[in-house]
Copies of this chain bind each other. A is one copy, B any other.
Amino acid sequence: MELHGSNLIGGATAATGERAFAAVDPRNGESLAPSFAEATEGEIDRALELATEAHRALKALPAEQRADFLDAIAAEIDGLGDELLDRASLETGISLDRLTAERGRTTGQLQLFAGMVREGVDRVVRDAGFTNRRIALGPVAVFGASNFPLAFSVAGGDTASAFAAGCPVIVKAHPSHPGTSELVGRAVLAAAAKTGMPEGVFSLVHGQGPEAGKVLVKHPDTRAVAFTGSLAGGRALFDLASRRPNPVPLFAEMGSTNPMFLLPNALAARRAEIADGLFDSLTIGVGQYCTNPGLVFVARGPDADALLGDLRARVAAAEPGTMLNAGIASAYRVALGGLSALAGVEVVGAETGTAAESACSAKPALLVTDADLWLAEARLREEIFGPATLVVRADAPGDFVCLAEKLAGQLTATVHADEGDHELCRELIPFLEERAGRVVFNGFPTGVRVNAAMHHGGPYPATTDPRFTSVGTAAIDRFLRPVCYQGVPDELLG
């Protein structure tokens, strides 16, 4: 399939704007054909006009047909075969193996939501002549994420859950992988055509800068927004959504340091296993997962020293990886450079200057500091997006609760604990659950699963609303709202 580089506005292509951009191969910095047209305000207007009509048309269709649409998207994505994975790998530097797994997660979650739709998502409650059911919010704007070109992008979890809710979707493609986005976007349109979806159920707009996204978030007909990305980007869009004349919900999944507490008995019993697991969790995806374990608390002592020895050796011997784009790699180096200049912070691994092999090359880094400095220096509490982790040495395990109290909102918080650590766990967990959306026990935070019990969210700045998740079946709750019908005959409810 030859890429055309146009926006997809409902069923039509559109490239009326003057600005265009190309994707870049992060492995070598070369531009990839074709060039992609940035969406204009007029094109976005048209997408919302069609989406608003589609929202009404969708209501009149049986839920089964919407479920078929979700299944058909999965089938169309599979039908793209290697072409999709090859392009995604070119644009992101992600290996074909990882992309194959990510495609499976993407089609799996589309099918999971299809199953939900067949079971009914309206959650009808009747009480004393009143009937309550959930209906779709209306057109949803979805921002593709750089780090999951399939699972958190054009037909990722946000789009799947919005479609499942009955909401039309307008995706703002991430400019790092516009070709992948076009391929998946065309797969969505093919599925829409095959299952009789109304035109406007889906549009895809491109933009390298923030303009197209801003227009989308501020558009009066946009009813909700889902975003996965940086704290700065998510907050800027949240501010736009909140300052609209008619504010709309904006769910942004943003940064997280994903703290991990290594309790003394667990560390003594399983030091090497923990070091291996931590290193793997830290470096998977070149550290570009939102759940990357960027912060580890240990109590001083021989076990902590041995753990640090293991980690220093693993990090020093690590091969560089290719980050998603030059901006991310540069930000990673700058952040590490800033912290390594602090007295009291040891840095192992990672070129912090400009000496990297290529603009997108990055090596893992281990940073080590003491609890006092971590408490005093706000920069040490910020997320570093990339394969870096900061080990904070406390004087004693009893200090963990005070340290936990200083944590900002997190997607995850992890505890490694053995039987003998349970008393401390009972003190610690109430503080961790207050600050995190997921509490992991004797595991590593990068193991997100798409199921009914998952919560991928957490207090600010992990997200803009801790009551919602962007992963798992509950992700649909972002896009439905209850309506109460008082005395309305069922046959009039459609």
Chain B residues with Cβ below 8 Å from A489 are 441
Judging by beta carbons under 8 Å apart, are B138 and A442 in contact? no
Chain B residues with Cβ below 8 Å from A242 are 238-239, 242-243, 247
**A249 partner, pick from B59, B467, B481, beta carbons under 8 A:** B467
A194 adjacent to chain B (CB < 8 Å): no
**A443 partner, pick from B238, B239, B466, B486, beta carbons under 8 A:** B486
Q: List the B residue with the shortest CB-CB distance to A417.
A: B492
Complexed CA–CA distance, A46 and B436 (Å): 25
Chain B residues with Cβ below 8 Å from A239 are 242-243
Judging by beta carbons under 8 Å apart, are A486 and B249 in contact? no
Judging by beta carbons under 8 Å apart, are B494 and A467 in contact? no
Within 8 A of B (CB), among A181-233: none
Pick the interface stretch among A79-87, A275-283, A326-334, A457-465.
Answer: A457-465
Within 8 A of B (CB), among A428-479: 429-430, 433-434, 436-443, 447, 449, 451-455, 457, 459-461, 464-467, 469, 474, 477-478
Judging by beta carbons under 8 Å apart, are B439 and A59 in contact? no
Chain B residues with Cβ below 8 Å from A482 are 437, 455, 457, 467, 469, 474
| Given A438-B486, A447-B486, A467-B480, also A455-B247 (CB < 8 A) | no
Chain B residues with Cβ below 8 Å from A466 are 137, 481
Judging by beta carbons under 8 Å apart, are B469 and A56 in contact? no
Chain B residues with Cβ below 8 Å from A437 are 481-484
Chain B residues with Cβ below 8 Å from A18 are none
Complexed CA–CA distance, A56 and B437 (Å): 17
How far in angstroms is the closest Cβ of chain B from A151? 18
Judging by beta carbons under 8 Å apart, are B440 and A487 in contact? yes
Judging by beta carbons under 8 Å apart, are B438 and A492 in contact? no
A–B Cβ pairs within 8 angstroms, 6 of them: A426-B494, A429-B492, A429-B494, A433-B483, A443-B486, A453-B484
